[in-house]
């Protein structure tokens, strides 16, 4: 991992009408790291992810990804940047009327001229990379368990061989064993593919299993960024309760 900054956020303000979610928010994401984004409910973790990926307009500030100021790009330039990242949404957001393979092919069809047969093969490869067996390809999302749907959504996020992966609550709703396997999968894929991962979560076990650093959101900005050990020493009531309370101690085995 280097100090090469892949996402640079400065003085960000986001709002819904008069309700301000973020104000004066600064954050740097380093190339090759898994950064966990945590914070109290309603602090805007998913809103931040949506602002970076262009799904939520921001009111003030700047967001730079791959050295490009996103708000200054035209449609074609924006599309070029977006092909370099993949997004796994909180509930998977799979198209219910498409098979798993067809879901994974959607970004390929939208952004490339790959022939159908090769597209099928690439989609099946991504499905296997995400930890699903080949027989999942022709199934519909309704035929899958919650954990399998998460993996199918991950396969789609990997469709275009991204450098940057956004994961929104990837283990939410999973049982502990399935969640642990998913955490291990994320870590192995990050190492094998050299990914940078922006991971929104509330799961302290996921932070311990996967993250190099953690950004804590609260009070409309970033309260702190650091390793788990650094944050355990950070003097803030919510951070102390999160990492040093019963759940935090359980995750460390203390």
Distance from C-alpha of 171 to C-alpha of 167, rounded to nearest angstrom: 10
Tens-level pLDDT at each residue, the chain (254 residues) = 446 999 999 999 999 999 999 999 999 999 999 999 999 999 999 999 999 999 999 999 999 999 999 889 998 998 899 999 999 987 778 999 999 999 999 999 988 899 999 999 999 999 999 999 989 999 999 999 989 999 999 999 999 999 999 999 999 999 999 999 999 999 999 999 999 999 999 999 999 999 999 999 999 999 999 999 999 999 999 999 999 876 655 555 55
Query: What is the reported pLDDT for 1?
Result: 41
Number of domains in the chain: 1
Domain-located, residue 245? no
pTM for the whole structure: 0.92
Residue 155 near residue 126, CB atoms below 8 Å: yes
Q: Domain of 154: which CATH number?
A: 3.40.50.300
Domain-located, residue 254? no
Burial bucket for residue 27 (CB in 10 Å: 0-12, 13-18, 19+): buried
Domain-located, residue 156? yes
Residue whose tokens read 């979560």: 201
Domain-located, residue 208? yes
Domain-located, residue 120? yes
Domain-located, residue 252? no
Domain-located, residue 249? no
What count of other Cβ atoms lies within 10 Å of the Cβ of residue 57?
A: 10
Query: What is the reported pLDDT for 71?
Result: 85
Residue 136 belongs to what domain range? 2-229
Q: What is the pLDDT of residues 184-237, one digit of tens each?
A: 999 999 999 999 999 999 999 999 999 999 999 999 999 999 999 999 999 999
Domain-located, residue 246? no
């Amino acid at each position: 991992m280097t100090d090469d900054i892949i996402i640079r956020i400065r003085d960000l303000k986001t709002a819904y009408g008069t309700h301000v979610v973020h104000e004066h928010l600064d954050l740097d994401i380093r190339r090759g790291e898994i950064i966990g984004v945590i914070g109290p409910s309603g602090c805007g973790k998913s809103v931040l992810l949506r602002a970076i990926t262009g799904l939520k307009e921001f009111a003030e500030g700047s967001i730079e990804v791959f050295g490009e100021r996103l708000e200054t790009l035209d449609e074609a330039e924006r599309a070029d940047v977006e092909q370099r990242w993949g997004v796994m949404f909180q509930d998977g957001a799979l198209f219910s009327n498409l098979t798993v393979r067809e879901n994974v092919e959607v970004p390929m069809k939208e952004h490339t001229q790959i022939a159908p047969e090769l597209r099928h093969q690439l989609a099946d490869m991504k499905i296997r990379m995400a930890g699903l067996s080949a027989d999942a390809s022709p199934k519909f999302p309704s035929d899958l368990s919650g954990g399998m749907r998460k993996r199918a959504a991950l396969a789609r996020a990997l469709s275009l061989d991204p450098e940057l992966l956004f994961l929104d609550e990837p283990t939410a709703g999973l049982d502990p064993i399935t969640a642990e396997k998913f955490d291990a999968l994320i870590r192995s894929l990050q190492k094998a593919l050299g990914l940078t991962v922006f991971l929104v979560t509330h799961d302290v076990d996921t932070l311990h299993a996967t993250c190099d650093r953690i950004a804590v959101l609260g009070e409309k900005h970033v309260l702190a960024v650091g390793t788990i050990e650094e944050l355990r020493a950070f003097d803030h009531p919510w951070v102390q309760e999160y990492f040093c309370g019963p759940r935090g101690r359980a995750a460390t085995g203390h």
